[in-house]
Amino acid sequence: MVLKLFKRIVHENVLIEDCHQERSQWLGYDWNVSQVMTGDVNATLVIGIPTKLLLKIATKMLEEPFEDATELVQDASKEFLNVMCGNICAKLSQRDLVVNLEPPAIVQRTYNTELPAGYAVITSLIAVESRFNLAIIQHEK
């Protein structure tokens, strides 16, 4: 689903480089965009992306070029994740699972940036011009 969304919105093919559970290998890149799901499924989705890809997502979504990670650019990346999570919730509802979304958040990465607690699956992805990470963290109910 993530790969399809990148193709549809960002117009880039994305390949899976690696998938693991090793939290120490979470790179996070420059920005971490996250959204919490609650209900029958309790999880957080986090995308760690470099600034270059953050700008590209905003440029494609808002159809205007950006050179800096302004508040508008950050909002566009949060909306991108919100669309992704909305699609996931729609698929889950087809299985009679009820899931609610909290508003997405974005933080600029620091060396102290860590993933939320819980069981994590981390996927390293490659786009044409950059790499990024996606983490899905399952929380206790």
Identify the pLDDT of residue 112.
Answer: 56
Amino acid (one-letter) located at 112: N
Residue with tokens 């102290």: 112
Number of domains in the chain: 1
Residue 51 near residue 96 (C-beta atoms within 8 A): no
Say whether pTM exceeds 0.85.
yes
Pairing of strands 31-39, 15-20: unpaired
Pairing of strands 15-20, 105-108: unpaired
58 Cβ partners below 8 Å, 6+ apart?
Answer: 66, 72, 73, 76, 77
Structural domain including 85 reads: 2-138
- The closest alpha carbon to 71, from 108, 44, 35, belongs to 108
Identify the pLDDT of residue 1.
Answer: 72
CATH code of 19's domain: 3.40.1550.10
Counts of helices then strands in the chain (DSSP H, E) = 3, 7
Give the H/E segment covering residue 47.
Answer: strand 43-49
DSSP state of 95: T
pLDDT in single tens digits along all 141 residues of the chain: 777 887 888 877 888 888 888 777 776 689 999 999 999 999 999 998 999 999 999 999 999 999 999 999 999 999 999 999 999 999 999 999 999 999 999 998 765 567 777 888 878 887 777 888 888 888 876
C-alpha distances in angstroms, 55 versus 33, 78, 97, 133? Answer: 13, 12, 34, 16
